[in-house]
Each structure stands twice: as C-alpha cells, then as structure tokens.
C-alpha cells in the first residue's frame, strides 16, 4: 500500500517552536497540535534522515508518486508547466547594461531606504524555504533562459523571452514603501516597468476583467516546491484596473541592479498599496481572464488573506493588529497608512 504523505505528516511527533511564523496554511495541513509548517518541514527532514533517506526529495520515491500538486485533482492551476531541470552552465542575462535605470522622481519616500543587505537576507519565498533566510537556498535556481507567456483574453497572445521583453519595455527606478501582512515593512528602490506597458502590447479584449499570474514550477531547483502540502506553483491575481494602475510595476531590478533570486528574479509583481503576498515572484504566466482568479494565500486561509489585500490599519489580521508596522533594520514602529499611503493613486478603485 502506498504511504500517504499526509498521514506521514500526521504521525510525526511535532513540537511547537518559538519561532514566529505567520502565514498558517489550511487546517488539514496542520495536526491538532497547531505545529507550524516550518516545524513539519524540519521534523519531516529529521524523520527521513533517521529512516536513512537524504532529505525531502526522497518522499517522491517513498510514496511512489512523482507527480506534483499541480496535477492534484483540486489544484487550481492545471495549466502549470512542470519545468525540467536546467542543464549546462548557467546563462547570463542579456540586459544587465540597462541598470541602473532612469530614476523616476515622482515617487519619493517619507522614510529612509532599507539597507540592501537587510532586504536581501529577510525574504518570503516559500518555493525555497519557509524561513526568512531564503538567500541560503537559492543557489541551484536558474533565471535564464526565462520565458513569460501572456495568454487568455488578449488580441495578441505572446510568449516573451525575458531579456527581449525587458529591452522593449520602459525601465525606470521608483522608491516604494513595502508592507508585509506580518506587519514588517521596508522602503525599496525597485527597477521595473509599468504592468500597463505590457498589457498595451498584448491588447486586452473588452471582456478581460482580471489578470491571473503564476510562478515557475521547478522543484529540482527550488527545494520548497518539493514540499507537497502547498499547491504549487504560487498563483495570484489582480483586477484589470489594478494591473493598469500607474503604481503597478513588473520589477526586474532592485537597488540599481537585477533582482537577486530571493526577491523574485527575474520578474515579479510590485503593488505597493497591497500587502506583500500579492506581489508574486518569478512569474512565468500572465493570463487575462473574465472571472476573479483564485489566489494562493486566499485559498490556504480565506479568513486571514483576502483577494484584495489592500493595506489597512483599521482591519486587524485575525491574530494581530495592523495599526503599526515594524521597519526592517531599525525596528522602528510606524503607524501603518491606509493603502500604505497610496490612497491618492488607488482609493478610487475601491469606491462602490
């Protein structure tokens, strides 16, 4: 009889670690002890080690199941593409010469920039690790060659080579506030281009109401994707008005150079008036659709993470306040602003 990984998970002796860990997945992922996913992850590794297996990757063998969640019957992304492991030497980007890009002075800040070394070492990217030291787990990941497919309700569906796309788009640098739903915050110099510039190129049809986005699916290079209790790949969505908003960027750079992997290389979304979980990293697919797309964190914990995820100090998270945010590096507490201070740009989108 094949061994069910979920039972394996439940049969583990799990102790709650004092580590703070905020995004909690669906209840069926967690034993009654309320162990965090990180605990499960660590304990599973430990169990496999004692059983004589090298690590989590052995689970596929253990269960006799080499298929990933993307093919699970309830996975919302049946069109996710499982990419084969990259072969050959790593390839360099062909667009490094575009950085640093022209600075757009329209977006200034009320706070100092977060130092680069801090922003680089405190990340959320579950494809690699559920801990914040994502930078320690990214060495196998290849960001070239990279393609972004744009499909769905558009006049000109197209698959872009990333470097070709970056070269044809108007790259610029903007300083934005950034706030994670866990109530920590940063101030970041992004380099990217308006999402609108890409949409103008593919020409959305009039019945396109939403934009759906997917992250890569390459478990051989992203160890977190070998954990089968998440429905990989990560998926997000925006209304078309949000995607067309002047603030909405597709970022390919940070601090005046290309994105390092932990920030979502080679291309990620930036929506500064929304909590960080909306800003999907390492995008491979953009689809224009007629119906509201499902989103990763909303599916995992609907009562905690809504589709819109607009920063709002007056609506606490179920388990903590959103009235203040903690700046990374200084630990300074600041009052969180409605729409993260971007109300003049976006408040009209939410008037009913």
Closest to Mo ion by CB, 205 or 323: 323
- Which entry of Mo ion, ligand MTE, none binds 126, CB below 5 to 8 A by partner kind? ligand MTE
Q: Which does 281 bind (CB under 5 to 8 A by kind): ligand MTE, Mo ion, none?
A: ligand MTE
For 161-178, give one letter per residue: b (16+ CB within 10 A) or e: ebbebbeebebbbbbbbb
Tell me which of ligand MTE, Mo ion, none is bound by residue 212, counting a contact when its beta carbon lies within the kind-specific cut-off of 5 to 8 angstroms. Answer: none
Strands 333-335 and 324-327: antiparallel
Q: Which of 63, 118 has the CB closer to ligand MTE?
A: 118
Where along the sequence are the contacts to ligand MTE (CB under 6 A)? Answer: 123-127, 180, 215, 234, 263-264, 276-277, 279-282
Nearest residue to ligand MTE, by Cβ distance, number only: 276
Point out which residues pair with 250 in neighbouring strands.
193, 269
Q: What phi and psi values does residue 137 have, to the nearest 5 degrees? A: -120, 10
Decide whether 93 or 295 has the Cβ nearer to ligand MTE: 295
- Least separation in angstroms between residue 3's CB and ligand MTE is 28
Closest CB 124 distance from Mo ion, rounded Å: 5
Residue 69 interacting entry, from Mo ion, ligand MTE, none, C-beta within 5 to 8 Å by type? none
Residues 6+ apart with CB under 8 A from 158: 149, 150, 201, 202
Q: Which does 263 bind (CB under 5 to 8 A by kind): Mo ion, ligand MTE, none?
A: ligand MTE
Is 105 exposed, middle or buried, given 0-12, 13-18 or 19+ CB atoms closer than 10 A?
A: exposed
Separation between Cα atoms, residue 226 and residue 25, nearest integer Å: 16
Beta carbon nearer to ligand MTE, 48 or 286: 286
Check: CB of residue 161 under 8 Å from CB of residue 146: yes
β strands within 116-206, DSSP E: 147-152, 158-161, 172-179, 184-194
Q: Name the residues that contact Mo ion, by CB under 5 A.
A: 124, 180, 276-277
């Amino acid at each position: 009889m094949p061994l069910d990984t979920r039972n394996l998970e439940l049969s583990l002796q799990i102790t709650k670690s004092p580590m703070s860990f905020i995004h909690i997945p669906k209840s069926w992922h967690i034993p009654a002890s309320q162990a965090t996913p990180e605990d499960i992850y660590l304990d599973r590794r430990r169990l496999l080690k004692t059983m004589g297996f090298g690590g989590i990757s052995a689970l596929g063998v253990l269960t006799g199941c080499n298929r990933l969640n993307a093919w699970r019957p309830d996975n919302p992304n049946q069109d996710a593409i499982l990419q084969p492991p990259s072969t050959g030497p790593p390839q360099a980007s062909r667009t490094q010469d575009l950085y640093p890009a022209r600075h757009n002075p329209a977006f200034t800040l009320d706070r100092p920039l977060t130092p680069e070394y801090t922003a680089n070492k405190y990340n959320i990217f579950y494809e690699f690790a559920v801990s914040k030291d994502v930078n320690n787990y990214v060495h196998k990941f290849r960001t070239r060659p990279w393609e972004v497919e744009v499909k769905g309700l558009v006049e000109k569906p197209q698959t872009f080579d990333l470097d070709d796309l970056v070269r044809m788009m108007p790259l610029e640098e903007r300083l934005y506030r950034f706030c994670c739903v866990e109530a920590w915050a940063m101030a970041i110099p992004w380099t990217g281009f308006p999402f609108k510039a890409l949409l103008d190129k593919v020409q959305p049809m009039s019945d396109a109401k939403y934009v759906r986005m997917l992250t890569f699916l390459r478990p051989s290079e992203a160890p977190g994707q070998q954990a089968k209790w998440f429905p990989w790949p990560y998926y997000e969505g925006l209304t078309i008005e949000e995607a067309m908003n002047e603030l909405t960027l597709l970022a390919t750079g940070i601090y005046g150079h290309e994105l390092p992997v932990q920030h979502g290389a080679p291309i990620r979304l930036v929506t500064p008036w929304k909590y960080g979980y909306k800003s999907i990293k390492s995008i491979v697919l953009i689809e224009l659709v007629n119906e509201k797309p499902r989103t990763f964190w909303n599916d995992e914990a609907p009562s905690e993470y809504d589709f819109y995820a607009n920063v709002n100090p007056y609506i606490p998270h179920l388990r903590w306040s959103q009235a203040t945010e903690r700046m990374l590096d200084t630990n300074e507490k600041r009052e969180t602003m409605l729409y993260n201070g971007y109300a003049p740009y976006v408040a009209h989108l939410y008037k009913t």
